[in-house]
Amino acid sequence: MILAAATNESLAQTSNYLIYSSMAVYTLAFLAHIAEWVLGSRSKVGRTAAALTQTAAASAPAVRVKTAGGGTAVLDRPKVVTRAAAGARDVPDGPGAAGGTEKGDLYGRMAVSLTALAFLIEAGGVVTRALSVQRAPWGNMYEFSVTFSTVATGAYLGFLAARKNIRWMGLPLVTTVLLDLGVATTWLYTDSDQLVPALHSYWLWIHVSTAIFCGAVFYLGAVATLLYLFRDSYENKLALGGSPSSFTRSVLERLPAAATLDKFAYRVNAAVFPLWTFTIIAGAIWAGDAWGRYWGWDAKEVWSFITWVGYAAYLHARATAGWKGRKAAYIALIAFGCFLFNYYGVNIFVSSKHSYAGV
């Protein structure tokens, strides 16, 4: 018994060491992403040259070619097709955070490599925490927060592995992860301990793991939605003949087009919404086993349902004429705000059966 306790304590210390080590590597990734954006910033001369190149290409004459019969035919210059949605502005995607520069791309690839390394170290911290308590490693807010940031980073790296061009999300992601881990290790830390008997159930693995995964993907959708609002305002200003500041132009011109960001946010939110529905159903089943009732209007249950209604309203708005675009984006951000309050607000400020101990 004493040997087992000592082993568990050693595993808990190893977990803490790995979490702090991952924070150090995430910090390096953060600096690399900053370098990517700074070195990828296109100078005024570079932007002018790019604009002149595009203008020259647009005014290029039609191409004359010889046909098999000995005559000639005129081929129009092919139209550049962008990923803008129907009815949206025909705006191409930006070159990315690196801005098309070699140095920026080098630091961007370094940032992704460091993020992947930090993810592996943090995942090791989550696993050793689970081994130290011999249960699912999300029995309190500290464990939930650490696992959440791990899954969010894993989802981001998964999109990159699938060759999705979302490296522009690296800087806000790493910044958020550092803030999340900082709050977790400073204010939310709780020593390894066992759960109350009512929570000893295989539903802990099913219900909480799906909630963490949904939250991580909802986060990626929220970042894309927020950037969509900035990029859409930028494109509107240009369309109306406005002149954004050089800093605004330098940052926003490298992001994907507003239509692309909007499409990405919609797809990830729509894809994970059924899983969030399952999360609520699984929680109700677990509540029936643990407390003898499936729904008791507990604060956590209510705000989970409010979050579900928010995302359902967003998906409905996307399919409703007059609500696509910015109006639907505002609803998506409100829905994600409900998710955040469900986690921080309910767990810390509201008395609930779901309140985490030791916080």
Query: Whose CA is closest to 169, among 120, 96, 113?
Result: 96
Residue 3 has pLDDT above 60, yes or no: no
> Would you give the distance in Å from CA 335 to the centre of its chain?
15
Query: Comparing 281 with 191, which gets the higher pLDDT?
Result: 281
* Of 147, 268, 160, nearest in space to 208 by CA: 147
**Least confident segment among 68-77, 99-108, 249-258, 277-286:** 68-77
What amino acid occupies position 95? P
Q: How confident is the model at residue 9 (pLDDT cuts 50, 70, 90)?
A: confident
Residues 6+ apart with CB under 8 A from 115: 26, 29, 153, 156, 157, 170, 173, 174
- Tell me: pLDDT of 51 over 60: no
Q: What is the 3-state secondary structure (H, E, C) of 139-188?
A: CCHHHHHHHHHHHHHHHHHHHHHCCCCCHHHHHHHHHHHHHHHHHHHHCC
CA distances to 193, 200, 205, 252 from 196, rounded to whole Å, are 10, 7, 15, 49
Average pLDDT over residues 219-236: 96
| Residue 77 DSSP class | P
The CA distance from 336 to 334, in Å, is 5
Residue 142 confidence (pLDDT) above 60: yes
Q: What pLDDT score was predicted for residue 257? A: 95
Q: What per-residue string of b and e applies to 193-202 under the rule 16 or more CB within 10 Å gives b? A: eeeeeebebe
Predicted pLDDT of residue 48: 41
Measured CA to CA, the distance from residue 204 to residue 64 in angstroms comes to: 69
The encoded tokens of residue 263 equal 């499409």
Predicted TM-score (pTM) of the model is: 0.85
Mean per-residue pLDDT, 141-166: 95
Which two structure tokens, joined as six digits, stand for 6? 């000592």
Give the model's confidence band at 259: pLDDT under 50 very low, under 70 low, under 90 confident, else very high.
very high
Does 71 have pLDDT greater than 60? no
Chain segment 88-137, per-residue pLDDT in tens:
567 889 999 998 899 999 999 999 999 999 999 999 999 999 999 888 88
Look at 22-31, 130-139, 192-201, 314-323 and tell me which has the smallest mean pLDDT. Answer: 192-201
pLDDT interval class at 156 (50, 70, 90)? very high
The band of 359, judged by pLDDT with boundaries at 50, 70 and 90, is: low
Rounded CA separation 88/260 (Å): 10
**Residue found by looking up tokens 């003949």 in the block:** 241
